[in-house]
Amino acid sequence: MKNIFLLGMPSSGKSTLGRTLAREIGYEFVDMDKRIEIRELLTIAEIFNLKGEAYFRTVESDLLRSLPQDTGLVVSTGGGVPCFHDNMAYIKEQGFSIFLDVPPRVLADRILHTRKNDRPLLSAENPEELLVTLEKKIGHRRSYYEQADVTIAGETDVQNLLEILRHLQVIS
């Protein structure tokens, strides 16, 4: 049972879709950001503020590599996971990856409407400033995300994910 990794920007639906997908196919769901917060006893924003991004990226990479292999996990990666410490190569070796390619305007709308301040690299209050920040961040990350086994452009749902995974014989 290959692990399935969901990649994409914050608010692309990795955790929401991942949780439901895991339930549908009988896999365990892992939200990397939540696991890091539990291990560190700090929120992601607090880790960035107190220990810095470099520390956070190392913790992310260590967590990724500590996940059991071929055990039927659906993993919601943090938005930056594929971009550091050769994590994308590791993900490709260890499982099946799906890039949720959601348009920046949709991401901005979702981020502004959640009102949680849990995305330290996307903390702009002004909607247009947030959109510009997202577009830049996606520009930097796209070459990593596009290495995924499958890219799903636009918004999607679990039924679509299930169809794709069955069609590609990732699940039966």
> Model confidence over 44-92: pLDDT tens digits?
999 999 999 999 999 999 999 999 999 999 999 999 999 999 999 999 9
pLDDT at residue 128, rounded to an integer: 86
Q: With cut-offs at 50, 70 and 90, classify the pLDDT of residue 114.
A: confident
Average pLDDT on 99-119 reads: 83
Q: With cut-offs at 50, 70 and 90, classify the pLDDT of residue 126.
A: confident
Q: With cut-offs at 50, 70 and 90, classify the pLDDT of residue 97.
A: very high
Task: Using alpha carbons, select from 110, 78, 98 the residue that is nearest to residue 148.
Answer: 98
Measured distance CA(59)–CA(63) in Å, rounded: 6
Residue 18 has pLDDT above 80, yes or no: yes
Task: Using alpha carbons, select from 39, 30, 40 the residue that is nearest to residue 78.
Answer: 30
Global pTM reads 0.93
Return the top range by mean pLDDT from 59-63, 104-108, 124-128: 59-63
User: What H or E segment, with its residue span, contains residue 97?
Assistant: strand 95-101
Measured distance CA(112)–CA(108) in Å, rounded: 6
Averaged pLDDT of the chain: 93
- List all residues 6 or more positions away from 78 whose beta carbon is below 8 Å from its beta carbon: 32, 33, 36, 44, 60
